[in-house]
Chain A
């Protein structure tokens, strides 16, 4: 608690508040525009934070992630086009509400549910991460290697439609992470004589290419359909559209509580992601309702259920990152590079080595929740106008910012080449349904996986029977095999058909 108070003192200064607010605003706008989103926003913004103080930089990035999770409801409600896939269930009732002239009501409920879900989930992160990290410190390299392998299999099985494709993406991610000087022998690996590759491939240009540039190319190919929907928006000025009544609040609060719980639990489990949480919460709310047939026709509880779960995922997905150093989502994977860049290595040791900075991150997360409420409430009409801007006017600016972001990482045009190479991979992985999320997470945990694997070989004396002295690792190896079997069985049909 003392550290948290110190964290608030570090955060509550005009400079940091301004950057967190800038992050939330930028995130809200990116989230509201279909096709952009939190991953794109965070990837492009990481280089912009190079010159900020660690607290301001991390606060801004967290603000972008939180703001875009909330902002994606705007286009889901007004356009029936979710800013991110996780807001698809929001559109099921939000869009019918908008068509009934109740857009402002739906937008407000989306915002309030988002803020409550996000805030409670942040508290869960604060309460859970440090105690879990204490247990994580007892884990050795053999156990950690097994846990990382399990996480990668779990994410690979659940991130896309096919376990086979998910695992291929994960293996390719780990493979690309091996490029550069090998850490024990300093032998260059797959550098082709290029000095720029000796330090390995940098995550920032890779992520910008795979997430942002590839998505912009994708949007450029589907621009006409999106622009048609954008031009069809019409505003309603009726007074009743702008308020949530007391009765609606009474009906929605238990729904928000359930959505927050579902989102927080799903967020903690690596690989499931916000889409699973929001659909699960929407489904649970519909099943629990006395009038399930009304869902999909404009029920305010539908918006509350989806948005509370969607936003609860962002903070709780940082629990495995903070406690174990394992990124459970693409945002967590991107935040690792930002954390390391600003002197905070995610994992159990950070609570001992950098308690003040961790507390400041927590404080900035809570601050971002409140700023999200203020900005979302006061600028709702403005954000609703922004999504009317045609995509053809947005794409060129985003591509330019991608180049600036990638270039800033090394100050060399080589980063632009890296960005373009991975943009190509990202484009084809989207189209062929190979999970780029699993690829990126494989790339991020690759060095740690290899390091602990090498240590395990030495500790076990290259004899697999010595695993009997490491029961935790046996549990996770069995879990890995069970996950592979279970997910492989459940989506084997999809692998063939998709």
Chain B
């Protein structure tokens, strides 16, 4: 975690500096005379982030090194990173289907492809689970509550 803290601290400090010196001046105009600047609170929060992130980096940098593998081990396992990438790709596919095909195709693909990705191969759950959830959602909104959500 020590290495992760140093890396995340540097990233956050950079994020804060970019916000302070580039994004906030570019994206927030100055206020008319007599008003408190709209940049004030965003600037304060970013100053806090930069200072604390640097503190995090320094504290971990100066910490005694045990030579323990856990110190330098990534807090994110490879399998978790793969899950993030896979589910991200599934969402990208579903959004594409939503925009260019239909919401039904998007919903069904989100569930079927996730089931397949998580290791489900039996045909019955692959068909029954998405069908049941889509039907239940339709019934809840269109029949019980009486509203069209799309």
Residues on A lying within 8 angstroms of B by beta carbon are: 48, 50-52, 162, 164-165, 167-168, 171-172, 174-175, 178, 182, 184-185, 187-192, 216-218, 220-223, 391-393, 395-397, 399-401, 403-404, 407-408, 411, 413, 416, 420, 424, 427-428, 431-434, 450, 453-454, 457-458, 492, 495-498
Having A188-B27, A416-B91, one finds 6 other A-B pairs with CB under 8 Å, namely A171-B46, A178-B41, A182-B28, A396-B118, A457-B36, A495-B5
For this complex, 19 residue pairs linking A to B, each with C-beta atoms less than 8 Å apart, are: A168-B48, A171-B49, A178-B41, A184-B31, A188-B28, A189-B38, A217-B80, A217-B84, A221-B82, A222-B79, A223-B118, A396-B112, A396-B118, A400-B107, A407-B149, A492-B59, A495-B56, A496-B2, A496-B5
Q: Is the CB of A175 within 8 A of B49?
A: yes
Residues from chain A with Cβ under 8 Å of B23 in the complex: 190
Q: Is the CB of A404 within 8 A of B149?
A: yes
Nearest 10 Cβ contacts at the A-B interface = A221-B80, A392-B118, A221-B83, A396-B114, A175-B45, A182-B38, A220-B83, A396-B111, A496-B63, A171-B48
Q: Is the CB of A185 within 8 A of B31?
A: yes
A392 CA to B4 CA in the complex, in Å? 30
Q: Is the CB of B146 within 8 A of A51?
A: yes
B1 smallest CB distance to A (angstroms): 5
Q: Once A and B bind, how many residue pairs between them come within 8 Å at the CB atom?
A: 170
A128 CA to B81 CA in the complex, in Å? 46
Q: Mark B23-64, 1 if CB is under 8 A from A, else 0.
A: 110011101100110111110011011001101100110010
Q: Is the CB of B77 within 8 A of A164?
A: no
Residues from chain A with Cβ under 8 Å of B48 in the complex: 167-168, 171
Report which of A172, A393, A401 forms a contact with B125, defined as CB distance below 8 A. Answer: A393
Q: Mark B68-95, 1 if CB is under 8 A from A, else 0.
A: 0000000111011111101110110011
A15 CA to B79 CA in the complex, in Å? 45
Report which of B35, B46, B52, B99 forms a contact with A175, defined as CB distance below 8 A. Answer: B46
Among residues 102 to 145 in chain B, which have CB atoms less than 8 Å away from a CB atom of chain A?
A: 107, 110-112, 114-115, 118-120, 125, 129-130, 133, 137, 140, 145
Chain B residue nearest to A192 in the complex (CB):
B27
Residues from chain A with Cβ under 8 Å of B149 in the complex: 404, 407-408, 411
Chain B residue nearest to A419 in the complex (CB):
B91
A497 smallest CB distance to B (angstroms): 7
Residues from chain B with Cβ under 8 Å of A168 in the complex: 12, 48-49, 52-53, 56
A424 CA to B70 CA in the complex, in Å? 24
A142 CA to B63 CA in the complex, in Å? 39
A389 CA to B120 CA in the complex, in Å? 13
Report which of A184, A392, A413, A496 forms a contact with B119, defined as CB distance below 8 A. Answer: A392
Contacts A51-B146, A190-B28 given; indicate if A217 touches B87 (C-beta within 8 A): yes
A191 CA to B56 CA in the complex, in Å? 30
Q: Is the CB of B36 within 8 A of A400?
A: no
Residues from chain A with Cβ under 8 Å of B110 in the complex: 396, 399-400, 403
A222 CA to B76 CA in the complex, in Å? 11
A187 CA to B32 CA in the complex, in Å? 10
A72 CA to B75 CA in the complex, in Å? 26
Overall SS of chain A's interface: helix
A393 CA to B126 CA in the complex, in Å? 9
Residues from chain A with Cβ under 8 Å of B147 in the complex: 50-51
A390 smallest CB distance to B (angstroms): 8
Q: Is the CB of B2 within 8 A of A453?
A: no
Chain B residue nearest to A457 in the complex (CB):
B36
B45 smallest CB distance to A (angstroms): 4
A50 CA to B133 CA in the complex, in Å? 20
Chain A residue nearest to B134 in the complex (CB):
A400
A49 smallest CB distance to B (angstroms): 9
A395 CA to B112 CA in the complex, in Å? 11
Q: Is the CB of B114 within 8 A of A431?
A: no
A438 smallest CB distance to B (angstroms): 12
Find the residue from B46, B55, B112 having the highest chain A CB count within 10 A: B55
Residues from chain B with Cβ under 8 Å of A497 in the complex: 1-2, 63
A178 CA to B45 CA in the complex, in Å? 10
A416 CA to B97 CA in the complex, in Å? 14
A216 CA to B42 CA in the complex, in Å? 31
Residues from chain B with Cβ under 8 Å of A411 in the complex: 149
Chain B residue nearest to A462 in the complex (CB):
B36
Chain B residue nearest to A162 in the complex (CB):
B56
Report which of B80, B99, B145 forms a contact with A413, defined as CB distance below 8 A. Answer: B99
A453 CA to B87 CA in the complex, in Å? 41
Q: Is the CB of A221 within 8 A of B49?
A: no
Contacts A396-B118, A404-B149, A413-B95 given; indicate if A164 touches B56 (C-beta within 8 A): yes
A433 CA to B118 CA in the complex, in Å? 26
Find the residue from B5, B38, B55 having the highest chain A CB count within 10 A: B38
Q: Is the CB of B38 within 8 A of A397?
A: no
A187 CA to B37 CA in the complex, in Å? 10
Report which of B5, B46, B90, B115 forms a contact with A392, defined as CB distance below 8 A. Answer: B115
